[in-house]
Amino acid sequence: MDPASAFVDEFFIQPIVNPAVPGYNIVNTLTYGIILLGLTFYVIYPALKKRGFIFDWAFLQTLIPYIIFATSLRVLEDQRILTRSANPLDAGFYIFTPGIWFLTFALVIIGLIIGKKIGKGHVAREKKISMMIGIILALPLVLFNVLNAHEIGAAVVVVAGTGIISTIVFWLGKKYAWEFIQNPLAKTAFIGQMLDMTATFVALEFLSCGEQHVIPRLLFGAFGNESFFVVKIPLILGVLFLLDKEYARGKEPDEKLLGFILLFISILGLATGGRDLFTILVGTCSP
């Protein structure tokens, strides 16, 4: 195998096809991150903005069923029901990063187009139709995973922990007038990141799952699993504060871009947290 092929195999192919290899390393993390950010902010955002989409809580509601679809589908590989593949011509390519991104994005676009066609300019009807398509796609997978649940208690702990932390922070935000956390999208972005954080902690501390992502692996290895709480809560609050300061109250406010960034953060948190939650639920993290 020549050096270039060996490089691609080590850093991109093996993390996809070999379950014994962590799914993410510094090389594929940077590569996927650059591609994701590039597509998101230089292709998807301009295209949706041009077509008049409003990036608000209602739009996120339309997307949530598709996020649940993706997280539920991803867990089928954990249960060995589907086998991952590095070949885009195989179905298994679309159950793991990066293929699952492409599949979910394509389904979202199809759902939005169908909603536009059938809704015929009635915005609420368009969103409802697009959301229903997502629900139809997600529901069978969710039911399958729920019927195969083995760690209901642990999943309840994750949901309860996310709810408790979020409630406390939102109460503090109301008490001390933190304007940056009042936006419903900002609240959802925080909840999504707390779901990811809490599910990761439960999976690592009480069950047998390992961390796939590079930076959390380094953090946990150096400071322990509890460090995720110490780092992530202030980090996400700081990010939300800076975004609000720059795009809602800065010299050149841009509410559309702010909404899109909050939407992006919400989707990342809900997707990774939802995947972890379903993984815990079906018992693939069980000792």
182 assigned to some structural domain: yes
126 assigned to some structural domain: no
What tokens were used for 135?
Answer: 């629900």
Residue 85: pLDDT over 60: yes
220 assigned to some structural domain: yes
pLDDT score of 251: 77
107 assigned to some structural domain: no
80 assigned to some structural domain: no
63 assigned to some structural domain: no
97 assigned to some structural domain: no
Between 1-15, 38-52, 211-225, 273-287, the lowest mean confidence (pLDDT) is in 211-225
Confidence of residue 230 (pLDDT cuts 50, 70, 90): confident
The count of domains in the chain is 1
Residue 176: pLDDT over 80: yes
pLDDT tens digits for range 270-282: 998 999 899 999 9
Q: pLDDT over 70 for what percent of the chain?
A: 92
pLDDT tens digits for range 22-76: 778 888 888 888 988 899 999 989 988 888 888 999 999 999 999 999 999 988 8
45 assigned to some structural domain: no
177: containing domain: 149-287
pLDDT score of 46: 92
Question: pTM of this prediction?
Answer: 0.89
Q: Which residue has the higher pLDDT, 55 or 18?
A: 55
Q: In the predicted model, what is the mean pLDDT of residues 12-22? A: 78
Residue 252: pLDDT over 90: no
pLDDT score of 278: 92
